């Protein structure tokens, strides 16, 4: 692979790592919020909901801005905003302002997936896009893992906001490097909202988006409650919880690279082979949620969560690769926004429901809820793979 390929992949992945460090600080800090603001498990869930609701609200407008101004400008400004949002969360004096700061932080993270996906599909040649997507998506899990260690590790040494401030500083540095080094062209067209009416006639895409709701619920809720679960149910410290969350993200990174590599190299029709990989990931995740619910030691939790991370955190790259087999290249922006909106919708609804069940019946019922959702996702994906794509020339080119 040539130097320009690795230059683009490295810059986009570095941007994604930094953005995810800022964004996922909120997930890692849930036990710290609970102590600082006197929250219940249920009200902790609303902090995650505020974060993801801000993300969902701004996905479509930001997608239009990316079409109008190009990914270079929007990604640079987005990372500057994420750094500011991390500082706002750290400085929030009340629960209400914490929710507002989380909403702002989530709003700026809406630049991430549309912008970085556009960079991959516009600048990476056919035959290398799935691996590039998998590597780029590692930035999400790597950033989340780093944030968990930053927030939980530094809280015990300095003060609970220390990790947020370091994340913000790193974001400012990376924004400058990206603005200087990334060579993507700025778009000159008129801003338009994605044509969801046209996409709604694509049946396999519709079903994939429906499955995305349950995949997103599993992914974001696992990230938001891992540290709290390890502390409260297993009886380990917050630092151990942070290490477990970092392992979840580490193995999720391995899963994303493996999924991208398999999507590029396995034989057969792209729609069916990539769809089959996603089905296996969803089904395996369902079984592993049941295993996690039965763990009662720190070592057992570390092992179970690590394997869970490989499948549940490792499926987003494959999710978008499968999507690219169902839609045309000129629909990929709108399709990405719709698919991401579905993932985020699951993350808005599921965390409070998970927290409510944890408060009322215990964590086992909460993990079983996510297992049931993963089974539904797998069933929907089986149905989608059996359908013929209505697109003659999909974005995913062989």
Q: How far apart are CA 104 and CA 50, in angstroms?
A: 9
Is the pLDDT at 284 greater than 80, yes or no?
yes
pLDDT at position 105: 92
Confidence of residue 103 (pLDDT cuts 50, 70, 90): very high
**CB-count burial class (<10 Å; 0-12, 13-18, 19+) for 2:** exposed
pLDDT confidence of residue 375: 95
DSSP letters spanning 59-85: HHHHHHHHHHH-HHHHHHHHHHHHHHH
Given a contact cutoff of 8 angstroms between Cβ atoms, the answer to whether 254 and 314 are in contact is: yes
- Check if the beta carbon of residue 379 is closer than 8 Å to that of residue 356: no
Report the C-alpha gap between 146 and 135 in whole angstroms. Answer: 16
- Structural domains in the chain, sorted by start: 3-181+196-385 (1.20.1250.20)
Confidence of residue 129 (pLDDT cuts 50, 70, 90): low
Which position has the higher pLDDT, 54 or 189?
54
pLDDT in tens, 317-334: 788 888 888 887 666 666
Long-range contacts of the stretch 57-61 (C-beta < 8 A, 24+): 57/107, 57/110, 58/106, 58/107, 58/108, 58/110, 59/110, 59/114, 59/337, 59/340, 59/341, 59/344, 60/193, 60/194, 60/337, 60/341
Q: What is the mean pLDDT of residues 29-44?
A: 78
Positive or negative, the CA dihedral 358, 285, 301, 33 is negative
Examine the pLDDT at 398 and tell me if it is beyond 70. Answer: no
Helical segments of the chain, H only: 3-28, 30-37, 41-69, 71-91, 95-109, 112-123, 129-157, 162-181, 196-199, 203-229, 238-265, 270-294, 298-312, 316-324, 332-360, 363-385
For residues 69-91, average pLDDT: 86
361 by Cβ neighbours in 10 Å (0-12 / 13-18 / 19+) ranks as: exposed
Q: Supply the pLDDT for residue 333.
A: 65
Statement: residue 397 has pLDDT above 60: no
- Angle of helix 316-324 relative to helix 129-157, nearest 10 degrees, comes to 150
Question: Residue 339 above 60 pLDDT?
Answer: yes
pLDDT of 195 over the 70 cut? no
In a 10 Å sphere around its CB, with 0-12 CB exposed, 13-18 middle and 19+ buried, how is residue 188 labelled?
exposed
pLDDT at 285: 92
Q: What is the pLDDT of residue 189?
A: 52
d(CA 41, CA 188): 47
- Mean pLDDT, residues 222-245: 82
Percent of the chain with pLDDT over 90: 17
Highest averaged pLDDT of the listed ranges 209-213, 324-328, 361-365: 209-213
* 325 three-class SS: coil
Of the CA atoms within 13 Å of residue 247, those in its CB half-sphere come to: 20
More confident residue, 105 or 196: 105
Top pLDDT among 39 and 365 is at: 365
Q: Rounded mean pLDDT of the chain?
A: 81
The mean pLDDT of 296-306, rounded to a whole number, is 89
Write down the pLDDT at residue 382: 94
């Amino acid at each position: 692979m040539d130097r320009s390929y690795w230059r683009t992949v490295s810059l986009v992945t570095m941007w994604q790592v930094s953005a995810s460090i800022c964004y996922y600080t909120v997930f890692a800090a849930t036990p710290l919020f609970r102590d600082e603001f006197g929250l219940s498990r249920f009200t902790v869930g609303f902090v995650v909901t505020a974060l993801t609701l801000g993300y969902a609200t701004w996905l479509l407008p930001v997608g239009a801005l990316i079409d109008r101004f190009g990914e270079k400008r929007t990604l640079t400004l987005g990372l500057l905003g994420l750094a500011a949002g991390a500082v706002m969360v750290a400085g929030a004096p009340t629960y209400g302002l914490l929710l507002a700061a989380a909403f702002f932080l989530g709003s700026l993270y809406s630049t991430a997936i549309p912008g970085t996906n556009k960079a991959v599909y516009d600048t990476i040649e056919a035959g290398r896009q799935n691996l590039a997507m998998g590597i780029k998506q590692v930035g999400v899990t790597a950033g989340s893992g780093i944030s968990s260690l930053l927030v939980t590790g530094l809280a015990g040494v300095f003060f609970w906001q220390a990790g947020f401030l370091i994340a913000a500083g790193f974001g400012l540095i990376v924004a400058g490097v990206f603005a200087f080094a990334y060579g993507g062209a700025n778009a000159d067209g008129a801003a338009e909202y994605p044509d969801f009416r046209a996409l709604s006639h694509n049946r396999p895409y519709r079903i994939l988006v429906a499955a995305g709701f349950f995949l997103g619920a599993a992914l974001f809720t696992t990230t938001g409650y891992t540290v709290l679960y390890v502390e409260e149910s297993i009886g380990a410290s917050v630092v151990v919880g942070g290490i477990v969350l970092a392992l979840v993200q580490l193995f999720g990174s391995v899963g994303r690279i493996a999924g991208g590599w398999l999507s590029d190299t396995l034989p057969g029709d792209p729609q069916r082979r990539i769809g089959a990989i996603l089905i296996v990931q969803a089904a395996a995740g369902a079984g592993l949620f049941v295993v996690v619910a039965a763990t009662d030691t720190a070592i057992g939790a570390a092992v179970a969560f690590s394997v869970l991370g490989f499948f549940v955190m490792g499926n987003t790259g494959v999710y978008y690769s499968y999507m690219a087999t169902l839609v045309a290249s000129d629909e990929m922006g709108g399709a990405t926004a719709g698919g991401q909106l579905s993932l985020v919708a699951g993350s808005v609804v599921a965390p409070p429901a998970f927290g409510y069940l944890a408060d009322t019946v215990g964590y086992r019922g909460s993990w079983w809820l996510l297992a049931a959702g993963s089974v539904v996702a797998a069933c929907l994906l089986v149905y989608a793979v059996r359908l013929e794509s209505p697109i003659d020339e999909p974005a995913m080119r062989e």
